[in-house]
Structure 1
Amino acid sequence: MPRFIIEDDFWSLFPHAKIGTVICQGIDNSIRDVEIYEKLLQEAEKEAHTFLSLEEFSGNPVISVWREAFQKFKTKKGARCSIEALLKRVKNGNHIGTINPLVDIYNSISLRYGLPCGGEDIDTFAGDIRLTQAIGNEPFIPLGSDENAPPYEGEIVYKDDAGAICRCWNWREAQRTMLTEKTKNAFLCIELVDETRSDEFHMALKELADLVSRHLGGTVKIEVLDMNNREMAIFG
């Protein structure tokens, strides 16, 4: 039974972080009523403007808090938190296109709450998944590429026994574990580094789970890992 484990070397850098998970089992991610997900994303884009009240993009708190977090470990030049990438597109008037239901759902939550969300296909995992500092030799084929681009030593990554799953914490996903329309079992997560936003974080997790359950069926389970609860069984 795979586990999700957050290692001590992560907590040494981010002792107050929270990682919320939504484990989805037996879902149907092939459901393609595109209009539903386009509307979900369009409404979320409108709400996202509340996080862009300052003229200087990087000065907005949901951006600056992650810029500061990324300065605590070695990152690839130009790597940014996933929520920053989404909000940059909103600021520039570029709509977020639909990809598949799960991705559309978590992107909408990310925009609505100004929090980074991500997801992986559990059935592609090799052993346990860990959030940790990279050794630096983990294989990693990024989405849309076929070339190995391993993380730096000390970079925060999600990884399993076969290599890195997401580089620079939440910057770039791996091709190997990406969510597709064939995904039946999914590991979704929301990450928090700003302690003052704990209420929104828990609301976002609940809404993420509710949307998946309502649109894709299956069963969902929410669990939050923090300094005092560092690992969990993915199933069970």
Structure 2
Amino acid sequence: MGLRPTQYRCASESLLRRLRKDGSLPRIHPLIDLCNAVSVAYAIPVGVFDVSALALPLEVRYAHGDETYVTFGGEKENPAPGEVVFADREGQAHARRWTNRQSGASAVREETSRVLIVAEAMHETGTEDVRRLAETLAGELAALWDATPRTGLPTRTDPRFQLPHSR
């Protein structure tokens, strides 16, 4: 993607480095903590988005440069044209540089009731690894929160994942 890998590490690599350095992962929110643990276990980035903050559809694409990205500190930025972003129909960038940097606008909070969890891998066995990660995560969500997760694995020939409507 034209980024220096040591400057913009993927989320799972950053978590693995932190775990090796500190011996533990940060405590943020029970769901985020679970997703971080699964991300580390599979060495695959996992992003979690509060669906109520998304103007669906959400699209992974190259930025035009006019998208708005909100940092966790509340500052607004515009991703550079050509940067990979998760953008919604209102031009909000909910993640930058693939899943490396999530927006504060769609971060999970105590009042979050519906989420979109995204895991991505581009390595040779990535498709199977993401499938196994999704199965693991779905099992943990069902066990811990009595949730009924819906999973999907978009492909080049079928690149869409349709969120079910709210109940």
Instruction: Say whether the fold is shared (TM-score over 0.5).
Output: yes
Q: Gapped runs of 5+ residues in structure 2? A: none
Change (3 A) 1:226 1:87: same
Q: Distance in 2 between matches of 1:177 and 1:235?
A: 18
| Cα RMSD after superposing both structures | 1.9
> Taking structure 2 as the reference length, what is the TM-score of the superposition?
0.90
CA deviations 1:133-163 (Å, max 9, x no partner) are 00011111112x1211211100001011231
Match of 2:81 in 1: 153
Q: Distance in 2 between matches of 1:75 and 1:147?
A: 24
- Tell me the CA shift for residue 87 of structure 1: 1.1
- Tell me the CA shift for residue 219 of structure 1: 2.0
Change (3 A) 1:77 1:139: farther
Change (3 A) 1:75 1:173: farther
Q: Secondary structure at the match of 1:182?
A: coil
Q: Distance in 2 between matches of 1:75 and 1:136?
A: 20
8 A Cα contact 1:74 1:152, kept in partner? no
Matches within 5 A, 1:2-41: none
Instruction: Tell me the amino acid that sits aligned with residue 116 of structure 1.
Output: P
- Tell me the CA shift for residue 76 of structure 1: 10
Q: Are residue 214 (structure 1) and residue 143 (structure 2) matched? A: yes
CA deviations 1:176-217 (Å, max 9, x no partner) are 111112111110011010122433321111011111111122
- Tell me the CA shift for residue 128 of structure 1: 0.9
Tell me the number of residue pairs that the alignment of Structure 1 and Structure 2 aligns: 164
Q: Which has the larger radius of gyration?
A: 1
Q: Distance in 2 between matches of 1:128 and 1:182?
A: 22
Structure with higher helix content:
1
Q: Secondary structure at the match of 1:210?
A: helix
Q: Gapped runs of 5+ residues in structure 1? A: 1-71
Q: Which structure ranks higher in relative contact order (CA pairs < 8 Å, sequence separation ≥ 6)?
A: 1
- Tell me the CA shift for residue 89 of structure 1: 0.7
Structure with higher strand content:
1
Q: Distance in 2 between matches of 1:85 and 1:113?
A: 13
